Amino acid sequence: MNWIFGYGSIMWNPEVSYSEVRKARLTGWARRFWQLSPDHRGTPALPGRVVTLVERADCDCWGLAFRIEESQWHKTLDTLDEREKNGYTRHFLEINLATGSKELCVTYIARDTNVSFSPLPSAKETVLNITQATGPSGSNTDYFLRLRETLESLEVYDEEIDRLNKAFVEIER
């Protein structure tokens, strides 16, 4: 197993060396903006929001799978462990590559047991949080837009992104 599955910023900014990238699907999981980001897309005073995965039997989460050369595997995990340190833990899951094959991969998930896990009751509240937060990695709005654009380029419909995009449009009116 030498695959990393990215479903958030890893898709457009992996920060690791890889030999191959493929569109991939993770069955039984949904992408949600339920993780606070006081270190990348916000500050401790105004944390931004980034995506995590939540188990949903009726959902699929599309993203990108990156094949890592064996010689780079441990270095890659060290890099991603440091990057994803705010509440994310490493998980080993099976993905379906768009080519039809199944592969075991590593992905990072922030579970509801970490202090930064914070679902909001409405899309409007989530978007208001996103539009106000900026951190060392840039604005939280940019994170959302990059994620939306990446999924559009992959021709992926995502329920969460669609719901939040509608709230962005409502707020802009």
Dihedral pair phi/psi, residue 49, rounded to 5°: -130, 135
In contact, 130 and 148? CB cutoff 8 Å: no
Active site residue 94: no
Residue with tokens 């992959």, as numbered in its chain: 154
DSSP state of 17: -
CA dist 56 and 25 (Å) reads 14
Q: Which of 84, 103, 149, 152 is catalytic?
A: 84
In contact, 67 and 14? CB cutoff 8 Å: no
Active centre residues (catalytic): 84
